[in-house]
Amino acid sequence: MAKLNIVLYEPEIPSNTGNIGRTCVATGTRLHLIEPLGFRLNEKAIKRAGMDYWSDLDVTTYVNYEEFLEKNPGAKIYMATTKSRQTYTEVSYEPDCYIMFGKESAGIPEEILVNHPDTCVRIPMIGETRSLNLSNSVAIVLYEALRQNNFDHMKLEGDLHRLHWD
C-alpha cells in the first residue's frame, strides 16, 4: 500500500500547515514538520484550517533537518523548488517516498538542494511568478504522486443520486 510522506521545512504560516494537514488526512499521507516553525502547533489558525481532522493526522516534528535525515535513513526525497530543471510530472514517485517543500518566504535552502539535483522538481508557472501558495503546491505534487501510485487505498468512486422531477 502506498504511504506517501509530505515534509515541510520550517513552515511559517499556520493556515498553510493546517490546510496541508487536512490534505494529508484525506489522502492517508504522513506529515513531517522540520523546526523551527513560524507558529505553535496548538494555534487556532492551524486547527481552523485543519478543521476537526487534525487529531487524525499522522504527524512527526523534528528539531532540524539533520534529525529528520537521522530518523528517516535511506528515504527517497523529492524536493519541490522553483530552481529545478525538471517538472513534478517528469519523475516516478515511489509508494513510500518523501516530498519536501520549503518555507513560504525562502523555499528549501540551496545548500540542501545542491545535494539532490536529480530529485528536485518544479511546478511550471508563467513568467517571473515567485511561487504558488504552499498548500496549493503540496496538493498539486501530492496528487500526481498518488495518481502514479493508482490512488492506492483511496476511494475512487462517489455516490451521485439523480434527482427525479415528477
Residues in the chain: 166
Residue 127 counted as an annotated binding residue? no
Average pLDDT over residues 47-52: 59
155 occurs within a structural domain: no
Q: How far is CA 135 from CA 58, 61, 71, in A?
A: 17, 18, 25
Q: What nine digits make up the cell of 17?
A: 500547515
Q: What is the mean pLDDT of residues 97-104?
A: 97
Residue with the bigger pLDDT between 73 and 47: it is 73
What are the respective helix, strand and coil percentages of the chain, to the nearest 5? 35, 15, 50
Overall number of domains in the chain = 1
Does the pLDDT at position 21 exceed 90? yes
Tens digit of each residue's pLDDT (9 = 90 or more) over 104-131: 999 999 999 999 999 999 999 998 888 8
Please report, for residues 91, 98, 107, 114, 141, the alpha-carbon distance to residue 69 in angstroms, rounded to integers and kept in the order given. Answer: 22, 11, 18, 16, 21
Q: Is residue 154 part of a domain?
A: no
36: cis peptide before it, omega within 30°? Answer: yes
User: Would residue 162 count as lying in a domain?
Assistant: no
**What's the pLDDT at 83?**
92
pLDDT of residue 54: 75
Specify the higher pLDDT residue, 43 or 130: 130
Domain span at residue 123?
Answer: 5-148
Percent of the chain with pLDDT over 70: 89
Cα 13 from Cα 46, distance rounded (Å): 9
- For residue 50, name the pLDDT band (cuts at 50, 70, 90): low
Average pLDDT over residues 76-103: 96
Task: Name the phi and psi angles at 24, rounded to 5.
Answer: -65, -40
Nearest-10 Cα torsion for 160, 55, 44, 98 = -90
User: What is the greatest pairwise CA distance in the chain?
Assistant: 67
CATH of the domain at 115: 3.40.1280.10
The SS3 call for residue 163 is coil
Task: Note if the pTM is more than 0.85.
Answer: yes
Q: Is 139 within the bounds of a domain?
A: yes
6 labelled binding-site residue: no
Instruction: Tell me, rounded to whole angstroms, the distance of Cα 13 from its chain centroid.
Output: 14
Strands (E), 113-153: 120-121
| Residue 123 marked in a binding site | yes
Terminal-residue alpha carbon distance, the chain:
46
Please give the average per-residue pLDDT across 46-52, as a whole number. 59
| Of 31, 38, 32, nearest in space to 14 by CA | 38
